[in-house]
Amino acid sequence: MTGQPNYPGFLVFDVTNLEIDEPQPPIELTEEILDLTEPFSLTVTFRGTGMFWNALVNMFDPQYEACFYLEGRGQQAAESDLGCATGNVAAASVGGGNYEATHQVNGIQQKGLYKVGVTVEFPGLWGLLGHYDDLMIQVSRHESPTPPN
């Protein structure tokens, strides 16, 4: 989702994707369904382009801070901060002006439906901020269906 600022050719910052990865998802279910307390990781992809962005990265290698959160949907699904991933932009590069940051989460304690989001900002660089909040997950007591008797 378009971040700020957005001046094509000079400085454009976008947070383009947010993915969840659980260590061993059951074959029949997607990774967007988790067991209670099951550990998982979240990976955010962000992109910077333009003359000013290139100068920032090449001369200063700024530090990013990607903070992840949950917004509960429905009864008993609470909001929660999941923590932050930090690092230097150059080390997060995956090529082509794209960068990734991954954060490990120990699990979610309450079943429910959640919208997962992330903000990416750069401490010390006022006004450079982006977010992504288009990932829905379900947390259930038993992710794997119980086979019939």
Percentage of residues in the chain having pLDDT higher than 90: 62
State both tokens at 34.
């988790």
Locus of tokens 């382009």: 49
- Residue 80 bridge partners (DSSP): 70
Q: Mapping DSSP to helix (H, G, I), strand (E, B) and coil, where does residue 55 land?
A: helix
Which pLDDT score, from 0 to 100, does residue 76 have? Answer: 80
* 58 vs 4: which has the higher pLDDT: 58
Which pLDDT score, from 0 to 100, does residue 94 have? Answer: 93
Which pLDDT score, from 0 to 100, does residue 127 have? Answer: 85
List, in order, residues 6 or more apart from 134 with CB less than 8 Å away.
1, 18
Q: How many CB atoms lie within 10 A of CB 66?
A: 27
Q: For all residues of the chain together, what is the average pLDDT?
A: 87
Judged against a pLDDT cut of 60, whether residue 28 lies above it is answered with no
Q: Is residue 97 very low, low, confident or very high in pLDDT (cuts 50, 70, 90)?
A: confident
Judged against a pLDDT cut of 90, whether residue 30 lies above it is answered with no
109-136: pLDDT as tens digits? 898 999 999 999 999 888 899 999 999 9
Judged against a pLDDT cut of 80, whether residue 92 lies above it is answered with yes
pTM, two decimal places: 0.88
Helix (H) or strand (E) holding 25: none
State both tokens at 79.
């909001």
Q: How many CB atoms lie within 10 A of CB 142?
A: 9
Q: Hey, what amino acid is at 14?
A: D
Min mean pLDDT across 90-104, 116-130, 131-145 is at 131-145
